[in-house]
Amino acid sequence: MLLSSAALEVRKIRVVAEFQRKVPRIYGDGGYLQQVFLNLFNNSMDAMPHGGRLTIRLARRGRQNGEPEGVRVEVEDTGEGIAPETVAHIFDPMFTTKRMGTGAGLGLAICKQIVQQHGGSIEVRSRPGEGACFTINLPVDCRTRAEAPSGGTLVASR
């Protein structure tokens, strides 16, 4: 599946969506989770100033080590990649690699907080020159863990 928008086309970024069949619905705060994905997409676009590919994967995550069934989402780009010393701090509040006035260093810290409030986890794999891949694991029903006020907006289904 191939997605596109004017902003992506101008930047010469091709978006590829790889969605596994029969992925369970996720229940949580849609507004907060949307913020997570928009931040990841924007960061990926910034990491590919000369174009590239943004791949979004959605898959079922079976029960593991006593954890409930869930969903795994990967946001992977073919951008500049992230240096190991930066990866170590990427989720720290106020940490940014962007030039002054273009980023406050809160985006990924907020993403991590939102994902954790939904009972999930977020991690990144990256090497300089080889792009980055953010992996988010969420339980099927985030409502009992989320501190978000809306209490049960459907945020993803397949």
Average pLDDT score over residue span 84-109: 76
Choice among 29-38, 52-61, 101-110, 123-132 with the minimum mean pLDDT: 101-110
Average pLDDT score over residue span 9-18: 90
Cβ–Cβ < 8 Å for 142, 13: no
Q: What percent of the chain has pLDDT over 70?
A: 77
Query: With 0-12 CB in 10 A as exposed, 13-18 as middle and 19+ as buried, what is 24?
Result: middle
Quote the tokens at residue 68.
Answer: 């409930």
- The pLDDT tens digits for 26-81 are 888 889 999 999 999 989 998 999 999 999 999 998 776 766 789 999 999 999 99
Rg (CA), the chain: 16
- Chain centroid offset of residue 156 CA: 13
- 3-class DSSP assignment, residue 133: strand
The CATH number of 2-141 is which of 3.30.565.10, 3.30.70.1110, 3.30.70.520, 3.90.25.10? 3.30.565.10
For residues 99 and 133, which has the higher predicted lDDT (pLDDT)? 133
Cβ neighbour number for residue 136 with a 10 Å cutoff: 23
Quote the tokens at residue 139.
Answer: 């339980």
Choice among 1-5, 68-72, 128-132 with the minimum mean pLDDT: 1-5
Average pLDDT score over residue span 13-18: 93
Quote the tokens at residue 12.
Answer: 């010469």
What does the pLDDT read at residue 78? 97
Report which DSSP code applies to 141. B
The domain locations on the chain are 2-141
What does the pLDDT read at residue 156? 45
What does the pLDDT read at residue 50? 92
